[in-house]
Structure 1
Amino acid sequence: MNTIAALTTLNFLLADVRDGLGPYLAIFLQGQGWSAIDIGYVLTIGGLAGMIATTPMGAFVDATRRKRMVTLAAALAVTAACLAILYFPSFPVVSISQVLTGVVGAVIPPAIAAMTLGIVGPKEFSHQIGRNEAANHGGNVVAAVACAGFSYLVGIQAVFFVMIAMAVGSIAATLAIKESAIDHDVARGLDKSAKDNGASGFSVLLKTPALLIFGLILMLFHFGNAPMLPLVGQRIEALGLGNAVFWTSVAIIVAQAVMVPMALFAARIAERYGYVPLLLAALVALPIRGIVAASVTDAWIAIPVQMLDGVGAGILSVVTPALVARMLRGTGRFNVGLGAVMTVQGIGASLSTTAAGYLVQDGRGWLSALGIETGFTGYGVAFLGHGAVALIALAVFLATMRLMPLEPEAGHVHGGAASGPTPATA
């Protein structure tokens, strides 16, 4: 297996590893008798751990020349966390496991992005990121199909064993990547002709206002987006609408199936037209998703809800690393920059789960206290509330888009960023 094939395979196998148990954890804990608020707490704990770890992990990936070993350790950590939750589903154990999963989720994306940049270089980075994300979404489809099928045989426990199997496979794919194929200076975004001035990654970030604005937009987007699928699964389980594992798996399959072409399409659109149409599409899709989810309580509504997720999240999975690399080109701080952006978006994602729990339980009462009566259930109020946050993100983007390098790059060649220089700061 050549290095590019191994890298693509690694992204396929890490699909069900880097995000942890995701929406399945909420279903599993719901079945264990946990309340919506307690579920929200442990999801928030994991999100906060990831948020705190993300920027330091990005700096660590910039510094280390053993990026493959970092990926191996992350896969082993996820395996241990899954086993702990499965056999000891108490609040302390689940919380600790979520912390571990959060840290793993913080290190895998910059490690993969760094290896990709170090292997293919900046000219082919956008193109390979599109391939990586298409493989990642394809892996999620396969994992979700496996979870849906095996859940009928062994129950929710199937989710844990599918994830463990993919983690083991990712170890083999990581070992197939040749260490010599990774240029560690290029992997951190340092130009060959430039000298590392020793400036801290954080000082570089503070001098890049476009990156800070982009991080704020992503924070708002992920605050609205993160709880959507877990809420769909919880509503199915709570209202007895069907097999929550099956419908959640179907929803994941649909979303990931949409994300595969969206990832490839987004890379091509960025090359030809820049990032404006992509970010507009992603930000508009989320409030529509909230309205659709709130309007229909049947289990099948998970399908159109997740098709819209495939549009928004599929676009951002490509745009985020590619745009950060463009903003920080030549600084040698690409991975800490990507980590910082992920930290900020992690703030939104981690806080959103607890907010969603309170909206489900108390949202209708809060609206009634304000004199607003609604026919929506608590879940409906939560869907609408989180969808509305994306409108704020859209407003921020429209007000600040001129500060970000969103236009297509001149001198583009097949697959990605142009060879011409791009300012590191806005």
Structure 2
Amino acid sequence: MEVKTRSLKGLDWVSLLMADVKDGVGVYLSVYLLTVRHWSADKIGIVIAAPSIVGLLVQAPAGAFIDRTRHKRLLLMVASLIIAGCCLSVVLNSNFYPVLLSQFGVGFTQSVYAPCVAAITLGIVGHAALSQRIGRNESFNHLGNMLAAIIAGVIGRYISYEGIFYFSIVQCVLLVGAVLVVREQDIDHDLARGAATAAGQPVSAASVRELLGNRSILVFTVAIALFHLANAPLLPLLGQKLGLADQQNSSLYLSAAIIVAQGVMVFVAKYAGKASENGRKKVLLVAFALLPVRALLFAFIDNPYALIAIQLLDGIGAGLLGVVTILMIADLSSGTGRFNLLQGVVYSAIGLTAALSSIGAGYVVERFGYAVGFCALAGVGALATIFYWVLVPETKDIQLAKV
């Protein structure tokens, strides 16, 4: 018990430090390229979309590999070191293609983080305790994002925007140390891939055809993809809108927007884990419904403080989404031995839609302005909400039927 407690504490630190590592400084890159490098919105959209494009190609194979490998900790450590190199590359290069190449690297490695941490968590605590443990992971993840945003905002405002990238490199190194706190012997790798046991033996993994032929899995994946089609460009576009309004304070405004959202997520994620024990669908519906509302408010409000306050809605939605998505994937894959492959499939769909949306939103904004771009995203968000409510089943019932 004492040994497993150490591993669970290690998961806390991994979740905390992973927050701002897996995306290679994420949305700050968009503002950096706009306000410091003076790139056009369409070029920025392509660069921001690059990790999603690569993720589309590698997420599913990465998930299948994580199902098989017993070196999940090593994957996390190697990915962190590669992200550190990509951050350094952005600072040292100002041309389009080197920066684009670095973001391809980010996309290749970030496909490891979410499925690896979820698999390690499932392998340590099992399905019965997964709801509250994922809620705890996500709470620490959002706390890490909030703290990182505070530090990044101060660095960007009072030192240099490049300093944000160096800060991310430090986080990558610390994350490697946190992974080592998790003990390898505490991870049940059959549990970690969602393989139920029969007479003490793990069941054979379901075929990919069986997995992808499941209607519940299909409609759930489409719904999540539609959500991210609307959601992916919102924060980068908000950062650009804030940056154009006040370049000097752009990093502080953006950090404030992130801090507001992440602060709410810390508490919402914990609630989501408990609430989801009584059913997943209605909990996640709240996240879907808030998305078009947030996009419309971004379209018609220009006051930076009001825009930052609107991020409270993102805090609620993303806090619910981060927890419930993993739980629904675990429900749908329970007993198949394909938990991580299904994560990869879902994240590939997210990568495709996020890439298309980032590129498309960049071109729309470049030609028609930010208001039109945000309104278009609100329309997609409304469509995603209707699709989810009408077609996606309650997966808690599916999971219980398998027990």
In structure 2, which of residues 221, 231, 234 is the aligned counterpart of residue 228 of structure 1? 234
Deviations 1:274-333 (A, max 9, x none): 122212211110111011111111222332232111111111100111111011101100
In structure 2, which of residues 303, 319, 322 is the aligned counterpart of residue 317 of structure 1? 322
In the alignment, what sits opposite 1:17? 21
In structure 2, which of residues 243, 251, 256 is the aligned counterpart of residue 250 of structure 1? 256
In structure 1, which of residues 28, 34, 56 is the aligned counterpart of residue 32 of structure 2? 28
User: How far off its partner does 1:187 sit?
Assistant: 0.3
In structure 2, which of residues 154, 161, 175 is the aligned counterpart of residue 156 of structure 1? 161
Query: 203-212 vs 8-17, which deviates more?
Result: 203-212
2:197 counterpart SS class: coil
Normalising by structure 1, we get a TM-score of: 0.90
Query: 98-107 vs 152-161, which deviates more?
Result: 152-161
Normalising by structure 2, we get a TM-score of: 0.95
| Cα distance in 1, alignment partners of residues 169 and 74 from structure 2 | 18
User: How far off its partner does 1:241 sit?
Assistant: 6.2
1:2 counterpart SS class: helix
| Cα distance in 2, alignment partners of residues 254 and 49 from structure 1 | 30
| Cα distance in 2, alignment partners of residues 5 and 186 from structure 1 | 19
Partner AA of 1:285 in structure 2: L
1:388 aligns with 2:379: yes
1:155 counterpart SS class: coil
Deviations 1:191-218 (A, max 9, x none): 1216543543x22322321111111111
| Cα distance in 2, alignment partners of residues 252 and 308 from structure 1 | 12
| Cα distance in 1, alignment partners of residues 83 and 210 from structure 2 | 32
| Cα distance in 1, alignment partners of residues 157 and 272 from structure 2 | 36
1:146 aligns with 2:151: yes
| Cα distance in 2, alignment partners of residues 22 and 65 from structure 1 | 29
| Cα distance in 2, alignment partners of residues 248 and 4 from structure 1 | 32
User: How far off its partner does 1:36 sit?
Assistant: 0.2
1:399 aligns with 2:379: no
Q: Which runs of 5+ in 1 are unaligned?
A: 364-377, 410-416
In the alignment, what sits opposite 2:277? 271
In the alignment, what sits opposite 1:43? 48
In the alignment, what sits opposite 2:313? 308
In the alignment, what sits opposite 1:371? none
1:280 aligns with 2:285: yes
CA RMSD of aligned residues (A): 1.6
| Cα distance in 1, alignment partners of residues 296 and 170 from structure 2 | 37
| Cα distance in 1, alignment partners of residues 259 and 180 from structure 2 | 28
User: How far off its partner does 1:230 sit?
Assistant: 0.7
Aligned pairs for 1:20-419 (under 5 A) are 20-30=24-34, 31-193=36-198, 195-200=202-207, 202-240=208-246, 243-272=249-278, 274-363=279-368, 378-401=369-392, 403-407=393-397
1:213 counterpart SS class: helix
In the alignment, what sits opposite 2:9? 5
| Cα distance in 2, alignment partners of residues 267 and 381 from structure 1 | 36
User: How far off its partner does 1:421 sit?
Assistant: 4.8
Q: Which runs of 5+ in 2 are unaligned?
A: none
User: How far off its partner does 1:19 sit?
Assistant: 2.0
| Cα distance in 2, alignment partners of residues 204 and 175 from structure 1 | 36
1:152 counterpart SS class: helix
Deviations 1:35-59 (A, max 9, x none): 0000001112221011211111111
1:38 counterpart SS class: helix
Deviations 1:362-403 (A, max 9, x none): 23xxxxxxxxxxxxxx111111111221111111112213x4
| Cα distance in 2, alignment partners of residues 322 and 398 from structure 1 | 17
User: How far off its partner does 1:406 sit?
Assistant: 4.7
Equivalenced residue count is 396
| Cα distance in 2, alignment partners of residues 67 and 98 from structure 1 | 23
| Cα distance in 1, alignment partners of residues 171 and 77 from structure 2 | 12
2:129 counterpart SS class: helix
- Whether the 8 Å contact between 1:213 and 1:400 is mirrored in structure 2 is yes
1:113 counterpart SS class: helix
Deviations 1:238-257 (A, max 9, x none): 23365111111111111100
Change in Cα spacing, 1:47 to 1:95, as seen in structure 2 (3 Å) is same
| Cα distance in 1, alignment partners of residues 106 and 306 from structure 2 | 29
In the alignment, what sits opposite 1:422? 402
Partner AA of 2:382 in structure 1: L
- Whether the 8 Å contact between 2:76 and 2:179 is mirrored in structure 1 is yes
Give the fraction of aligned pairs with identical amino acids, expressed as a percent: 37
1:332 counterpart SS class: coil
